C-alpha cells in the first residue's frame, strides 16, 4: 500500500519498457506508486492492473483518458508511448492537471519540445524527461571524476550505441516509422552517447558535423537511418565522436574519455545494468564499481516526487530534452547539407 505522501502515477503505454521497467520502478520507489494505467489494450491493462493491485476504475483507455482529471489518486503521468505521441499525450496530461515524467527522446522536434514546456508552464505542472543515467551510480561517479579532472584536460570523447536490429518493417514496428521515431537510432539509442559527451565533458558543443546512412532495399530502413556518425567540437578544443547504429553486430554501448593524463572507459556505459568502468592513469588501470545501476529506475521516479512534494529543482527538465533535440536537429542538418554546422 502506498505510504503517506507517496505520489500516484498513471503509467501510459504498457509496452516493453512500461511493463518491463517503469511499473516495477514505481513499485520499488520510496515516494511514488502505481495508481492507474492508460492503455489501448483492455485485456493487457486488466492483467497489469491486477498485478499492481489496482481496481478496474483505475484503468483508462486513450478514448476516456480525459476523465482522469477527476481522479485524485493520480498526480502524475509517466508517458511511455512511442516518441511521436509524446507531445499530444503530455499536453493532454497537463490539461488534466497532472505532472508528467516523459520518456526520452522528449519529442520529434524543437518545436514540439517548446510546446510541451509551454504547456507545463501554462498549467503550472512539472515536466521531467526520463534521462535515467542521471540517477545511475556509474554515470554519476563518472561525471564527478571528470569534474575533478581525473583524466587531466579532456582531449577526446568517443561514444558508441549500436546493435543489429532483427528483420522488421514499418507495418510491424514503430521504431522504424519516421512519424513515430524520427530519424531512428540517434533519437532512440545514440541519445545516450550524445548526453554522455555533454555530461562527461561538462561542455556544450560549438560545432557539429555528421554523416547518416540509409541502405536501399532494406525494409528496416525504408523510413529511418541505419547509422549516424557525429563529430562535435567543444569550446575547450576537446572533440567527440558519437557512433550509433541499428545495423552492426554484436553491438556496443560505450563511452570513453581520453585526457592528457588518463582515460576513463565505460563499457557497457548506459544500459539497465551490468555496467563496467575503469580509469587508467600512469599505466595503471583501476576498475571502479560505485554502486548498483538498478537503482536508477526508482530514483528517477522519486526525483519527480521530490519536485512535486518539496519543490526541489528537476535535474533533467524539459529544457534538457529541448537542448538535446536542438543538437539532434543540427546533426541531421549537417548530414543533409554535407557540412559542419556552427552552433
Residues that bind ligand NDP (CB under 6 A): 13-18, 39-41, 44, 80-83, 85, 103-104, 130, 132, 174, 188
**54: Cβ–Cβ under 8 A, 6 or more apart, which residues?**
34, 35, 36, 37
Q: How far is CA 140 from CA 111, 188, 276, 321, in A?
A: 30, 21, 13, 19
For the chain, the C-alpha Rg in angstroms (whole number) is 20
The alpha carbon of residue 77 and the mean position of all alpha carbons in its chain are separated, in whole angstroms, by 16
Q: What is the DSSP letter of 313?
A: P
Q: How far is the CB of 81 from ligand NDP (least distance, A)?
A: 5
Q: How far is the CB of 286 from ligand NDP (least distance, A)?
A: 28
Q: How far is the CB of 252 from ligand NDP (least distance, A)?
A: 16
Nearer to ligand NDP, 108 or 279 (CB): 108
Tell me the residue number closest to ligand NDP, measured at CB: 15
Nearer to ligand NDP, 126 or 132 (CB): 132
Asked if the bond preceding 218 is cis, omega within 30° of 0, the reply is: no
Nearer to ligand NDP, 233 or 275 (CB): 275
What is the per-residue burial (b if ≥16 Cβ within 10 Å, else e) of 277-306? bebeeeeeeeebebeebbebbbbbbbbbbb
Nearer to ligand NDP, 13 or 268 (CB): 13
Q: Which residues are catalytic?
A: 104, 192
Amino acid at each position: 500500500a502506498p505510504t503517506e505522501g507517496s505520489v500516484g502515477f498513471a503509467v501510459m503505454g504498457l509496452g516493453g519498457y512500461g511493463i518491463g521497467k517503469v511499473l516495477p520502478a514505481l513499485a520499488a520507489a520510496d515516494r511514488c506508486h502505481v495508481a492507474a494505467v492508460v492503455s489501448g489494450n483492455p485485456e493487457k491493462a486488466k492483467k497489469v492492473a491486477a498485478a499492481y493491485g489496482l481496481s478496474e476504475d483505475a484503468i483508462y483507455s486513450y478514448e476516456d483518458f480525459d476523465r482522469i482529471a477527476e481522479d485524485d489518486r493520480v498526480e502524475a503521468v509517466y508517458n511511455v508511448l512511442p516518441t511521436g505521441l509524446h507531445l499530444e499525450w503530455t499536453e493532454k496530461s497537463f490539461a488534466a492537471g497532472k505532472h508528467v515524467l516523459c520518456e526520452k527522446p522528449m519529442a520529434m522536434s524543437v518545436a514540439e519540445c517548446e510546446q510541451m514546456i509551454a504547456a507545463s508552464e501554462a498549467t503550472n505542472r512539472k515536466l521531467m524527461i526520463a534521462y535515467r543515467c542521471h540517477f545511475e551510480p556509474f554515470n554519476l561517479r563518472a561525471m564527478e571524476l571528470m569534474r575533478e579532472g581525473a583524466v587531466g584536460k579532456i582531449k577526446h570523447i568517443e561514444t558508441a550505441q549500436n546493435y543489429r536490429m532483427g528483420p522488421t518493417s514499418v507495418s510491424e514496428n514503430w521504431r522504424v516509422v519516421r512519424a513515430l521515431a524520427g530519424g531512428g537510432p540517434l533519437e532512440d539509442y545514440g541519445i545516450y552517447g550524445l548526453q554522455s559527451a555533454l555530461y562527461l565533458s561538462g561542455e556544450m558543443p560549438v560545432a557539429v558535423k555528421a554523416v547518416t546512412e540509409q541502405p536501399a532495399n532494406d525494409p528496416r530502413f525504408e523510413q529511418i537511418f541505419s547509422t549516424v556518425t557525429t563529430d562535435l567540437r567543444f569550446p575547450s578544443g576537446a572533440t567527440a565522436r558519437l557512433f550509433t547504429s541499428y545495423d552492426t553486430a554484436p553491438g556496443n554501448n560505450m563511452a570513453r574519455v581520453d585526457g592528457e593524463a588518463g582515460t576513463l572507459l565505460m563499457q557497457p556505459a548506459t544500459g539497465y545494468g551490468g555496467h563496467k568502468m575503469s580509469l587508467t592513469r600512469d599505466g595503471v588501470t583501476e576498475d571502479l564499481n560505485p554502486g548498483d545501476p538498478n537503482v536508477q529506475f526508482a530514483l528517477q521516479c522519486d526525483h519527480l516526487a521530490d519536485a512535486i512534494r518539496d519543490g526541489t529543482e528537476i535535474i533533467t527538465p524539459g529544457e534538457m530534452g529541448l537542448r538535446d533535440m536542438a543538437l539532434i536537429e543540427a546533426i541531421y542538418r549537417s548530414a543533409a547539407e554535407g557540412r559542419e554546422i556552427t552552433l
